[in-house]
């Protein structure tokens, strides 16, 4: 039996420790890991808990992130509760296996501490790696601070492991801005957390010798499409109801509320920014200042990136006059991915807000309250004119001449 850890009601943890504690409380059977900055402390802390008797499990040291996820796939197919963590280049190396995991419907929880992708090499936070996983068939849930990273990791097991879902889940947190920023995290006791996550119930496990099963089959044009269709159907129809159910249970347990999309002052907002990660929080400070000035400003935080909450966003932004899509990844040749996602929503609206796009925070570059104030100035002008008054895409806080694209004149 694993030893229990005494936690205070509020522990000062950074996002990495918060995620590691969630893994400990969920009593993972196997972690196969190849550590990479800034997610290293998640698996390091897990190994520490394991070595000190706080977990009954296995830590598998491997030679690459490709092998780490491969190990997770094997352990998950065998019938265990499995998790690991990665970032950036490691995530990129994992990509091939991410599709294997989701295609085999293995409920692995991957803690992704988001970091820029080289070149040039950079260890700091942006969303390049998160965006790289967009089409991988995983559920993607986004934390905005360390508390979220703890809470959502616990929720992730419940969501992914459900026998009606059986899909892997990424829990994203911003590299350094969340992963290395300590804050007071409200904890659950080990028993309460474990009861919430629930005992792992194997499903079509390879180690069930009474019912031998093959994972990793080949299907050509006669079968492949049907399997992919099945996976997409389950993502589109089953996952959101399950996430809502788990979030509702979590709220009952803790009082903490999570939604597919988080709205801040969106009830009567006329202008709003849409963002992911810590920027959602910082934007809220700007919105508070603007509200004090009488500006009806709001923030939309994408909590669940996949499956994309199309209808929920549509409902939330229906009264907006102007909206900004905030992308923390270089689109490298088009508008930002979030802009594109939102454009898909907006094109179906009767009374669509005008939308523009900001690229910000690459490689950990700061985004400040002052930046958001300036963005809201743009949005106010766009709302008033009923059309975008600047080039569609602008870069924020980059040195050199003002950088913008897609002028609409």
Among the listed residues 227, 251, 256, 318, the single contact to other proteins using CB under 8 A: 227
Min dist CB 10 to other proteins, Å, is 6
Q: Distances in Å between the alpha carbon of 136 and those of 108, 235, 343?
A: 13, 11, 21
What string of H, E and C letters represents the secondary structure of 359-388?
ECCHHHCCCCHHHHHHHHHHHHHHHHHCCC
String marking each residue 348-367 x if it binds other proteins according to CB under 8 A: ------------------xx
Among the listed residues 5, 7, 123, 373, the single contact to other proteins using CB under 8 A: 123
Among the listed residues 231, 330, 340, 389, the single contact to other proteins using CB under 8 A: 231
Nearest to 377 by CA among 389, 393, 362: 389
Rule CB under 8 A: say whether 279 interacts with other proteins. yes
String marking each residue 47-86 x if it binds other proteins according to CB under 8 A: ----------------------------------------
Rule CB under 8 A: say whether 221 interacts with other proteins. no
Among the listed residues 4, 10, 236, 408, the single contact to other proteins using CB under 8 A: 10
Cβ neighbour number for residue 281 with a 10 Å cutoff: 18
- Candidates 62-70, 268-276, 278-286, 301-309: pick the segment binding other proteins (CB under 8 A): 278-286
- Between 103 and 353, CB nearer to other proteins: 103
Among the listed residues 195, 219, 257, 408, the single contact to other proteins using CB under 8 A: 219
Q: Distances in Å between the alpha carbon of 226 and those of 168, 233, 407?
A: 20, 10, 43
Rule CB under 8 A: say whether 196 interacts with other proteins. no
Nearest to 260 by CA among 142, 131, 136, 381: 142
- Between 175 and 336, CB nearer to other proteins: 175
- Let me know if 409 is exposed, middle or buried by CB neighbors in 10 A (0-12, 13-18, 19+): exposed
Min dist CB 157 to other proteins, Å, is 18
Q: Which residue shows structure tokens 């309460």?
A: 192
Rule CB under 8 A: say whether 282 interacts with other proteins. yes
**Axis-axis angle for helices 146-161, 239-254 (nearest 10):** 130
Rule CB under 8 A: say whether 257 interacts with other proteins. no
Rule CB under 8 A: say whether 215 interacts with other proteins. yes
Give dist(CA 245, CA 247) in Å, integer.
5
- Candidates 52-60, 187-195, 210-218, 332-340: pick the segment binding other proteins (CB under 8 A): 210-218
Among the listed residues 138, 150, 176, 358, the single contact to other proteins using CB under 8 A: 176
- Let me know if 340 is exposed, middle or buried by CB neighbors in 10 A (0-12, 13-18, 19+): middle
Rule CB under 8 A: say whether 220 interacts with other proteins. no
CB 206 within 8 A of CB 78: yes
Rule CB under 8 A: say whether 368 interacts with other proteins. yes
Give the number of C-alpha atoms closer than 13 A to the C-alpha of residue 147, restricted to the C-beta side.
14
Nearest to 141 by CA among 240, 66, 238: 240
Q: Which residue shows structure tokens 């889940």?
A: 169
Binding site for other proteins (CB under 8 A): 8, 10, 12, 14, 38, 103-106, 123-124, 145, 166, 174, 176-177, 180-184, 204, 209-215, 217, 219, 223, 225-227, 229-231, 233-234, 278-279, 281-282, 284-285, 366-370
């Amino acid at each position: 039996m694993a030893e229990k850890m005494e936690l205070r009601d509020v522990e000062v943890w950074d996002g990495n420790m918060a995620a590691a504690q969630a893994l400990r409380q969920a009593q993972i059977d196997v972690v196969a890991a190849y550590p990479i900055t800034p997610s290293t402390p998640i698996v390091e802390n897990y190994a520490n808990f394991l070595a000190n008797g706080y977990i009954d499990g296995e830590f598998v040291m491997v030679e690459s992130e490709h092998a780490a996820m491969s190990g997770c796939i094997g352990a998950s197919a065998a019938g265990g509760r499995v998790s690991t963590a990665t970032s950036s280049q490691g995530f990129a190396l994992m990509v091939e296996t991410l599709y294997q995991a989701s295609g085999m419907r293995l409920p692995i929880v991957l803690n992704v501490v988001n970091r820029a992708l080289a070149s040039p090499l950079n260890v700091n936070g942006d969303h390049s790696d998160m965006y790289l996983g967009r089409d991988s068939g995983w559920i993607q849930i986004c934390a905005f601070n360390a508390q979220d990273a703890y809470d959502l990791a616990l929720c992730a097991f419940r969501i992914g492991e459900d026998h009606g879902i059986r899909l892997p889940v990424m829990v994203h947190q911003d590299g350094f801005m969340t992963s290395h920023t300590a804050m007071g995290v409200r904890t659950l006791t080990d028993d309460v957390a474990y009861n919430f996550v629930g005992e792992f119930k194997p499903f079509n496990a390879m180690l069930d010798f009474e019912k031998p099963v093959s994972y990793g089959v080949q299907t050509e044009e006669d079968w492949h499409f049907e399997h992919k269709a099945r996976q997409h159907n389950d993502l589109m129809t089953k996952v959101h109801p399950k996430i809502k159910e788990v979030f509702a249970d979590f709220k009952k347990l803790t009082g903490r509320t999570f939604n597919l999309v988080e709205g801040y002052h969106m009830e009567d907002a006329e202008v709003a920014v849409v963002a992911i990660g810590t920027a959602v929080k910082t934007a809220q400070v700007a919105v508070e200042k603007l509200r004090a000035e009488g500006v009806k400003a709001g923030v939309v935080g994408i909590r669940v990136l996949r499956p994309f909450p199309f209808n929920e966003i549509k409902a939330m932004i229906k009264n907006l006059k102007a909206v900004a899509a905030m992308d923390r990844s270089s689109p490298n040749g088009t508008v930002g991915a979030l802009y594109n996602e939102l454009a898909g929503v907006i094109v179906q609206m009767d009374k669509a807000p005008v939308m523009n796009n900001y690229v910000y925070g690459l490689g950990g570059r700061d985004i400040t309250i002052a930046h958001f104030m300036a963005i809201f100035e743009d949005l106010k002008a766009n709302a008033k004119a009923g059309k975008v008054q600047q080039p569609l895409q602008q870069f924020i806080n980059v040195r050199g001449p003002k950088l913008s694209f897609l002028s609409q004149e």
